[in-house]
Structure 1
Amino acid sequence: MNPLKAIMQQAVSGMQLESQRITVAAENISNVDTPGYRKKMLVVDPQGTSADQFAAMKQILDETPGQRDYNPSHPMADQDGYVTMSNVSLIMEMADLRGANRTYEANLNAFQQARSMYTSLLDILRR
């Protein structure tokens, strides 16, 4: 297999993974104040190969209970007057979003470099 093509395929796979991480983090951030919302987490099968890595991803819900606030007038209050809030940490989600964005950009740069090298190689071969 062409090594430059393999690099580009690996970079695309990485960008797909990071795109999914960005989506999950954005959904969590948008629901940080939604009572009862459980944080979504992206799980990647570590045994998967680079070719099927995107297919080996799945979303699961964090089972950590959210903080319970006393607010008996809230429509989602239980019989004791407590509302279970979201279990999302805004700071952790923002950090994950930033990390996913940086990794996406690194994969994009690797793809662009490999494409540039491939184009240069084709130019040399045409001469």
Structure 2
Amino acid sequence: MNDILSSLSTAASGMKAQGARLRYVSENIANADTPGYRRKIAPFEAAVEAGRDTGEVRIGALQLDQTALPKVFDPAHPMADGTGHYEASNVDIMIELADAREAQRSYEANLKMFDQTRQMTQGLLALLKR
């Protein structure tokens, strides 16, 4: 029974981590046109409990993408410096859409694993009732 609970917990942790990743991706897309905005990155790390790896995953500390912010020439922009440039966002919509699709598919795979474990448990309980 412990293996069943472990697999449910592992799948649930994957869904939770991918949900958080999707939240960061949506924040990045929403701020793609915000001057000076740095892309948020959600690193995954293994969950450790009492010094041993549990097999679960979680989101690590939020990181900001440190790539250089692109300079945009627009002398009329309120944030433009003396040369007429301002720093735009370093968010690339195509990368964010690819990350969103990957997170969605990983979430669905974890959901399918969760459902398979649930079905196996129901089958086991049906056999024990006989």
CA RMSD of aligned residues (A): 1.7
Cα offsets for 1:12-45 (capped at 9, x unmatched):
0110111111111111111111111100001223
What is the letter of the counterpart of residue 39 of structure 2? K
* Mapped contact 1:13–1:51 kept (Cα < 8 A): no
Identity, % of aligned positions: 40
TM-score when normalising by structure 1: 0.90
| Aligned residue in 2 for 1:99 | 102
* Structure 1 residue 52: Cα displacement: 6.1
State the alpha-carbon separation in 2 of the partners of residues 45 and 109 from structure 1: 22
State the alpha-carbon separation in 2 of the partners of residues 111 and 120 from structure 1: 14
Structure 2 gap segments, 5+ residues each: none
| Aligned residue in 2 for 1:58 | 61
State the alpha-carbon separation in 2 of the partners of residues 46 and 112 from structure 1: 22
Residue 78 (structure 2) pairs with residue 79 (structure 1): no
Secondary structure class of the residue paired with 1:19: helix
What is the letter of the counterpart of residue 37 of structure 2? Y
What is the letter of the counterpart of residue 97 of structure 2? M
What is the letter of the counterpart of residue 58 of structure 1? A
The answer to which structure has the higher strand fraction is 2
Cα offsets for 1:29-77 (capped at 9, x unmatched):
11111111100001223585346632x5121111112211111111111
State the alpha-carbon separation in 1 of the partners of residues 46 and 85 from structure 2: 40
State the alpha-carbon separation in 1 of the partners of residues 89 and 54 from structure 2: 34
Residue 121 (structure 2) pairs with residue 118 (structure 1): yes
